[in-house]
Amino acid sequence: MSPAGGNAEVIATKGDVILQLGKVGVGDGVRNVLVSSVVLSLASPVFATMFDGRFSEGQSLSPASPRTVPLSDDDPECITMICKIGHMQTSQLPTTLTAIDLFKPALVCNKYDCVGVVRACAIIWVAALLEMPAAQDFEKLFLATHLLDLSGEFSRVSQSLIRDQSTTFSIVKAMAGQEFLPWTVYQCILLGQMAYRQEINKAFGSIVTGKERCSASQRSTCMFLHSLKKCGIWPTHDHSVPAIKSKLENVGEAAFPADSKRCASYQNLCICGAVSCTKRNLVYELDKIYNAVQGLCLKCVRHKAFGESRAQCGAHLISGAMVYL
């Protein structure tokens, strides 16, 4: 037992449990937080079992003399954050989190089966991160949204991993040493990204394929490709459509040579008549490719991986979701 509150950070003013977090000599060392066993029990069946009186942690609980419960193996920041949300002490919580700072609480929530407590806050945090697909550790949101049971966010994160990344999706980084999802699910993201990039390459290839070209239209196309290369767009490497379009802003439209005339057959065979629309047509094709990318359906992923029911598939509820088969 400990004197009421002691030197603990007070989350519940009439708390009857002091959670002892962290370890001596590790990070910020030991951290104590005063919480309510009732609130924790309502938030988590794991804590409900711990504090129901069958174990020493749940016996003789009293705000006058809170019982100290060590949770040295858990991340102190994550436990404190979850406790604050559960106790409605949210005014000091950050409005944004990094991907890794959201991933860590997701693991703790899964351990203590208290996903419902943080779901509302997590939706806000994920929404902010979706605006920053180039953020460090973004790929960890894929597993985090699964652990937090966020169907819509899971679909949008997987969609973003396919179409918004300029680096190749890393299954190892996304799994982060965890095995909550089979690697074949992550493979769907990687294969989707590869197919997406192939479509981008086809769009650029269409600039020099198709109709015949007279010498003048060939010159125009070559000058346009030179402009793309000068801006680092061509060859495409691993660029995403947003990255390509951003660079295309510095590229002018292809122009028909001023000292040349369109050939007589341009209306039917030669590309002469469309040369001045080369950039516009490219952007149009890139937009089609980008908008065609779909995310994974969490319900279907769980059905395939764990045999869960998918009576109402998330792909029918979420725009842009892809059925995982």
What pLDDT score does 282 carry? 95
By DSSP bridging, strand 17-21 and strand 31-35 are antiparallel
What domain range includes position 276? 204-292
Q: Are residue 300 and residue 175 in the same domain, yes or no?
A: yes
197 within some domain: no
Contact 234, 190 (CB under 8 A): no
This prediction has a pTM of 0.89
Contact 161, 189 (CB under 8 A): yes
d(CA 223, CA 217): 10
**Token pair of 271 as six digits:** 């590309």
Q: Are residue 213 and residue 232 in the same domain, yes or no?
A: yes
- What are the residue ranges in the chain where pLDDT is below 50? 1-2, 266, 316-318, 323, 325
186 within some domain: no
What pLDDT score does 267 carry? 56
Q: Are residue 240 and residue 271 in the same domain, yes or no?
A: yes
Q: Are residue 322 and residue 282 in the same domain, yes or no?
A: no
Domain count, the chain: 3
252 within some domain: yes
Q: Are residue 61 and residue 13 in the same domain, yes or no?
A: yes
Q: Are residue 156 and residue 9 in the same domain, yes or no?
A: no
d(CA 206, CA 278): 10
Give the pLDDT confidence of 243-289 residue by residue, as tens digits.
999 999 999 988 877 676 667 654 556 667 677 888 999 999 999 99
Where a domain ends, among 75, 103, 121?
75
Q: Are residue 64 and residue 208 in the same domain, yes or no?
A: no
**Token pair of 126 as six digits:** 């994920």
Q: Are residue 140 and residue 218 in the same domain, yes or no?
A: no
